[in-house]
Structure 1
């Protein structure tokens, strides 16, 4: 669930989407007191990427 709604096509510089989504997710788990997050992106043509984050 993404409470802030986001998309890769938000007008960011090329190559910046992953950094923006990961940074936003890291801030979100800190603000909500969460422990884990799994930001994902669909790149297209069957490609995708994901990273697991843990708040310590």
Structure 2
């Protein structure tokens, strides 16, 4: 759901790059950079 929302916002705002981050807990996390082609 997070990535789909990011893609929809990139299209709506005519953006090129988006960043999705998630906190896993206990000091861990993950980040993904999406490029709209």
**Same fold (TM > 0.5):** yes
* 1:28-43 equivalences in 2 (<5 Å): 28-43=9-24
Aligned-partner Cα distance in 2 for 1:38–1:48: 13
Aligned-partner SS, 2:15: coil
4+ aligned runs moved over 6 Å, structure 1? none
Query: Superposition RMSD on alpha carbons, in Å?
Result: 0.6
Q: Are 1:53 and 2:34 an aligned pair?
A: yes
State how far apart, in whole Å, the 2-side matches of 1:53 and 1:38 are.
6
Give unmatched runs, 5+ long, in structure 1.
Answer: 1-19
User: Which structure's relative contact order is higher, taking Cα pairs within 8 Å and 6+ residues apart?
Assistant: 2
What is the count of residue pairs matched by the alignment? 37
Unaligned runs of at least 5 residues, structure 2: none
